[in-house]
């Protein structure tokens, strides 16, 4: 077809004008404030300019046509509208014409109509950017092509055909053949001829009417095909076109050799070769301004303070520090990263020191806590062990082992005795509160205790930790566990865990017989009948322990303070602390003398020979006390009468009995009965043990009298008139007991200090 050879309308312009000539004389002032650097919305930076002295040379002259609104800048040499100018990469965006070719259907003579529009594009000083521009054809069955010329020589042709078989095939955004096509611009040309032409295709069925196609050379990225544009483009006049420019057709290296003509002299100005045309000047990275203006002058390349940019180039968790040509982002404490906005890594929390410190602190605290708890636990365990050891020590010290052995030896009795814990008894006595004290004596203190099952008990607590007393204590436990008699105070159990041993008894509510006899208020209610009853019951209890138990028990401390009274005036013999177990085949036992002055058997006192007859003697004193209402030993009486037993026996011998009998029972009592009882007492008080009756006999006689008494209650008053009283006289010397009782105490233990140590011997050895 060789269409490219038929170039009808041509506008031939030289493509390259070698910029070899420098205007040395009127050197342009890039920063001259009188220069107008804006035309409409377009900046006109040096080397471009709109007036004399404001541009580098004629090729950079911009004419600002004010007849447009807003005004439009034109490249003065080629009269091409300028859209904008970039000094950094040597690019110039200009406005290029769109060529249109239209056809009318039907075609005459059925001949294809080959209508063609060609335009020659030529530039004086600048060149079309081959990289960034393309040749476009838009329309149905249109062909756009470009022919390149170098001088008079045709060099090449390049183009594309846009077809549309069916209009529905058009695709938005795609310019690859359907309704739109584009093609690269060939190199090595100084002038271009663009042709747009419809192509006839055999058999193509076209409706009658106008059909238009477009052809243009334009910026590849600036045009995006759309089916809507397909219609609109028909009216489009221009498209953007990118041109390359340079200030001189030299390499940077060569340009710097001729310093006077070199334009990038400023310190902050770099030489750059953006395209094949030559070099330009450029502000370094991070600087902005005009690289053709010398340093220090307004508008020269200045460092950009990126930190003042909006948005800040650094992450929110970073501090921004501006540097020459750049900036630094430093992440805050506890963050890591380059601190820059994407594509930088920004700032992210590091498992940082704070966390480590917290972890360390946490670790230390936990360790300390564990250590503390551990220490406390060890301390607690040690304290507990100490306590247990102490309890064990007390248990041993308190004769726990002896007791266990004793209890084991007499299993049949053990059921009734219980071993209480120290805690249990502390609770029962409200920690041995003073208000709970029932009585106090040389032996210790008796507390009232209330057990967890509301049972009221008496708890006897020894005063001193004395091995001799412990011996006694164990003894009492062993003895009492063997006794089950209604007139003997019942031992419920004991506790060995405390420093001093504790005994738990049944609680007897009504005080001692001593109180009932010698307390004026109580004695008035202690009738003859009751006295007889007490005597009889006590005798029964003693007879029981002497004869009825598996081993004979000698109480050794029978006295009115050891006979307790309950609410029914029932006698309860208590305090077996001094008691001894005597095997039945042994009639005699040598022991340390023990007992209470006034009740003590003088025979035993002198011989240390212990038999149950010692208890009989003591019981005789108790009867005498019941009959006379006098204390067993009284400093208030004349010396000869201090010992009741002596006094009583003497009075009997001298037939002065009625004179010493308590007035109250004389009034109500049967004289015969009184005399009978007095006789029993007299027999009990015989100096020789063998002469005394056994408790069995005594019990029998007393019980007999009681039966009699019940029948003869009515004949009481006839005796009252016979009573005359005489002052009693008696000599203690008669019994050989010569004790200097200077102190006020009269109910004390006989055993003196010199004897005490002997009692440490185990019970078993004692009972040889
Ligand atoms: C400005 O443009 C108009 C319209 O294209 C034209 O007629 C006129 O000559 C131009 N003026 C200058 C000073 O070039
Ligand atoms: C050129 O002008 C266009 C439109 O006016 C604008 O979008 C573009 O950012 C400009 N380019 C430069 C490099 O100034």
**Residue 746: what pLDDT?**
30
Report which protein residue has its CA nearest ligand 1's atom 13.
Answer: 65
**Residue 442: what pLDDT?**
55
Distance CA 458, CA 510 (A): 12
Atom of ligand 1 nearest to the CA of 79: 14
The ligand placed nearest to the CA atom of residue 72 is 1
Atom of ligand 2 nearest to the CA of 93: 1
Atom of ligand 1 nearest to the CA of 66: 1
Class for the domain spanning 509-717 = mainly alpha
Reduced to 3 states (helix: H, G, I; strand: E, B; else coil), residue 393 is helix
Distance CA 415, CA 493 (A): 10
Report which protein residue has its CA nearest ligand 1's atom 3.
Answer: 67
Q: Which residues of 662-682 are buried (b: 16+ CB within 10 A; e: fewer)?
A: bebbbeebbbebbbbbbebbb
Distance of CA 99 from the midpoint of ligand 1 (Å): 22
Distance CA 685, CA 764 (A): 30
The ligand placed nearest to the CA atom of residue 75 is 1
**Residue 73: what pLDDT?**
94
Kindly give the parts of the chain with pLDDT less than 70: 1-28, 103-120, 165-170, 188, 190, 200-210, 229-235, 351-355, 397-417, 441-443, 463-473, 475-476, 479, 482, 577-595, 669, 711-768
- Strand 491-495 to strand 437-440: parallel, antiparallel, or no bridges (unpaired)? unpaired
Atom of ligand 2 nearest to the CA of 84: 1
Atom of ligand 2 nearest to the CA of 41: 5
**Residue 27: what pLDDT?**
61
**Domain-by-domain residue ranges, the chain?**
91-244, 387-507, 509-717, 718-767
**CA angle in degrees (0–180, nearest 5) for 279-245-28:** 75
Distance CA 292, CA 748 (A): 132
Distance CA 628, CA 659 (A): 9
Distance of CA 63 from the midpoint of ligand 1 (Å): 10
Contact of 515 with 664, CB cutoff 8 Å: no
Distance of CA 185 from the midpoint of ligand 2 (Å): 23
Contacts of 91 (CB under 8 A, 6+ apart): 85, 129, 242, 243, 244, 245, 274
Distance of CA 263 from the midpoint of ligand 2 (Å): 26
**Residue 81: what pLDDT?**
92
Distance of CA 85 from the midpoint of ligand 2 (Å): 8
Rounded to a whole number, what is the largest CA-CA distance in the chain? 193
Annotated binding site: 461
Helix (H) or strand (E) holding 753: helix 753-756
Report which protein residue has its CA nearest ligand 2's atom 1.
Answer: 84
Report which protein residue has its CA nearest ligand 2's atom 9.
Answer: 84
Query: DSSP letters along 16-35, please?
Result: ---------SS---TT-TTS
Q: What are phi and psi of 501, to 5 degrees?
A: -70, 155
Report which protein residue has its CA nearest ligand 1's atom 11.
Answer: 65
Pocket of ligand 1 from Cβ distances under 6 Å: 63, 65, 67
**Residue 466: what pLDDT?**
61
Of 237, 235, 205, give the one whose Cα is nearest residue 218. 237
Contacts of 480 (CB under 8 A, 6+ apart): 417, 488, 489, 490, 491, 576
CA 441 centroid distance within chain: 57
Distance CA 511, CA 159 (A): 140
Question: What residues are labeled active site?
Answer: 557
- Residue for token pair 């982002």: 329
Pocket of ligand 2 from Cβ distances under 6 Å: 83-84, 86, 93
The ligand placed nearest to the CA atom of residue 62 is 1
Atom of ligand 1 nearest to the CA of 65: 1
Annotated binding site for ATP: 461
Contact of 94 with 82, CB cutoff 8 Å: yes
Q: In DSSP terms, which residues pair with 749 in a beta bridge? A: 596
**Number of CB atoms found within 10 A of residue 158's CB:** 17
Q: Which of 50, 65, 68 has most ligand 1 atoms within 8 Å of CB, for mutation?
A: 65
Give how far Cα 651 sits from Cα of 162, 348, 664, 736, Å: 165, 118, 19, 18
What CATH number does domain 91-244 carry, 2.60.40, 3.40.190, 2.60.120, 2.40.128?
Answer: 2.60.120
Report which protein residue has its CA nearest ligand 1's atom 12.
Answer: 65
Q: Which of 38, 40, 82, 83 has most ligand 2 atoms within 8 Å of CB, for mutation?
A: 83
Distance of CA 330 from the midpoint of ligand 2 (Å): 34
Q: Which of 61, 67, 82 has most ligand 1 atoms within 8 Å of CB, for mutation?
A: 67
Return the CATH fold of 387-507.
Answer: Phosphorylase Kinase; domain 1 (3.30.200)
Atom of ligand 1 nearest to the CA of 67: 1
Contact of 669 with 528, CB cutoff 8 Å: yes
Distance of CA 72 from the midpoint of ligand 2 (Å): 14
Q: Which of 40, 93, 238 has most ligand 2 atoms within 8 Å of CB, for mutation?
A: 93
Rounded to 10 deg, the angle between the 613-628 and 671-684 helix axes is 150
The ligand placed nearest to the CA atom of residue 93 is 2
Report which protein residue has its CA nearest ligand 1's atom 7.
Answer: 67
Report which protein residue has its CA nearest ligand 2's atom 7.
Answer: 84
DSSP state of 236: -
Q: Which of 84, 87, 244 has most ligand 2 atoms within 8 Å of CB, for mutation?
A: 84
Distance of CA 191 from the midpoint of ligand 2 (Å): 26
Distance of CA 40 from the midpoint of ligand 2 (Å): 13
Report which protein residue has its CA nearest ligand 2's atom 14.
Answer: 84
Reduced to 3 states (helix: H, G, I; strand: E, B; else coil), residue 153 is strand
Distance CA 474, CA 129 (A): 126
The ligand placed nearest to the CA atom of residue 84 is 2
Of 539, 535, 514, give the one whose Cα is nearest residue 630. 514
């Amino acid at each position: 077809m060789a269409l490219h050879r038929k170039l009808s309308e041509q506008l031939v312009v030289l493509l390259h004008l070698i910029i070899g000539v420098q205007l040395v004389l009127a050197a342009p002032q890039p920063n001259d404030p009188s220069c107008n650097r804006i035309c409409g919305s377009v900046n006109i930076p040096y080397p471009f300019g709109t007036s004399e002295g404001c541009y580098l040379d004629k090729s950079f002259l911009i004419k600002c046509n004010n007849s447009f609104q807003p005004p439009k800048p034109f490249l003065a040499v080629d009269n091409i509208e300028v859209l904008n100018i970039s000094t950094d990469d040597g690019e110039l965006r200009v406005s290029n014409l769109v060529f249109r070719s239209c056809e009318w259907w039907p075609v005459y003579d059925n001949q294809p109509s080959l209508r063609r529009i060609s335009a020659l594009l030529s530039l004086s000083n600048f060149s079309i950017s081959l990289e960034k521009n393309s040749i476009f054809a838009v329309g149905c069955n249109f062909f756009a092509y470009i022919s390149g010329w170098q001088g008079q020589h045709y060099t090449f042709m390049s183009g594309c055909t846009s077809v549309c078989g069916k209009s529905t095939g058009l695709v938005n955004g795609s310019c690859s053949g359907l309704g739109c096509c584009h093609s690269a611009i060939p190199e090595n040309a100084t002038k271009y001829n663009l042709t747009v032409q419809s192509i006839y295709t055999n058999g193509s069925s076209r409706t009658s009417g106008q059909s238009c196609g477009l052809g243009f050379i334009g910026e590849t990225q600036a045009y995006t095909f759309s089916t809507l544009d397909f219609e609109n483009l028909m009216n489009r006049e221009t498209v953007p076109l990118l041109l390359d420019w340079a200030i001189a057709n030299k390499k940077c290296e060569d340009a710097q050799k001729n310093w006077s003509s070199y334009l990038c002299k400023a310190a902050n100005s770099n030489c750059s070769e953006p395209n094949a045309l030559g070099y330009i000047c450029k502000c370094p990275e991070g600087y902005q301004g005009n690289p053709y203006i010398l340093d220090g002058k307004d508008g020269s390349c200045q460092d950009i303070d990126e930190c003042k940019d909006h948005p800040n180039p650094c992450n929110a968790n970073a501090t921004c520090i501006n540097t020459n040509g750049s900036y630094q982002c430093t992440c805050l404490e506890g963050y890591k990263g380059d601190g820059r906005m994407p594509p930088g890594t920004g700032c992210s929390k590091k498992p940082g020191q704070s966390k480590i410190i917290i972890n360390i602190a946490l670790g230390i605290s936990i360790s300390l806590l564990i250590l503390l708890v551990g220490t406390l636990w060890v301390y607690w365990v040690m304290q507990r062990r100490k306590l247990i050891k102490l309890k064990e020590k007390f248990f041993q010290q308190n004769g726990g082992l002896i007791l266990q052995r004793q209890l084991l030896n007499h299993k049949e009795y053990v059921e009734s005795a219980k071993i209480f814990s120290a805690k249990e008894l502390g609770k029962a006595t409200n920690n041995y509160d003073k208000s709970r004290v029932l009585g106090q004596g040389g032996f210790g203190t008796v507390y009232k205790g209330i057990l967890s099952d509301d049972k009221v008990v008496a708890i006897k607590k020894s005063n001193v930790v004395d091995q001799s007393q412990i011996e006694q204590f164990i003894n009492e436990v062993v003895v009492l566990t063997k006794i089950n008699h209604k007139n003997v105070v019942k031992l419920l159990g004991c506790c060995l865990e405390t420093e001093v041993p504790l005994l738990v008894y049944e609680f007897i509510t009504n005080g001692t017989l001593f109180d009932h006899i010698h307390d004026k208020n109580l004695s008035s209610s202690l009738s003859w009948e009751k006295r007889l009853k007490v005597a009889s019951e006590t005798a029964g209890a003693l007879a029981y322990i002497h004869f009825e138990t598996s081993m004979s028990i000698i109480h050794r401390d029978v006295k009115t303070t050891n006979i307790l009274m309950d609410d029914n005036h029932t006698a309860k013999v208590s305090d077996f602390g001094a008691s001894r177990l005597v095997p039945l085949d042994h009639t005699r036992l040598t022991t340390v003398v023990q007992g209470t002055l006034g009740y003590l058997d003088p025979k035993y006192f002198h011989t240390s020979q212990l038999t149950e007859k010692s208890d009989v003697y003591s019981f005789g004193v108790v009867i005498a006390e019941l009959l006379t209402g006098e204390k067993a030993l009284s400093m208030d009486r004349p010396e000869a009468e201090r010992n009741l037993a002596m006094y009583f026996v003497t009075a009997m011998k001298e037939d002065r009995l009625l004179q010493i009998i308590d007035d109250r029972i004389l009034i109500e009592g049967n004289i015969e009965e009184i005399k009978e009882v007095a006789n029993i007492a007299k027999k009990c008080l015989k100096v020789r043990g063998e002469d005394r009756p056994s408790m069995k006999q005594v019990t029998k006689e007393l019980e007999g009298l009681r039966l009699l008494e019940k029948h003869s209650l009515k004949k009481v008053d006839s005796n009252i008139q016979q009573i005359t009283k005489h002052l009693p006289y008696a000599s203690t010397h008669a019994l050989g007991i010569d004790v200097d009782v200077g102190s006020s105490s009269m109910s004390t233990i006989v055993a003196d200090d010199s004897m005490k140590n002997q009692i440490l011997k185990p019970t078993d050895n004692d009972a040889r």
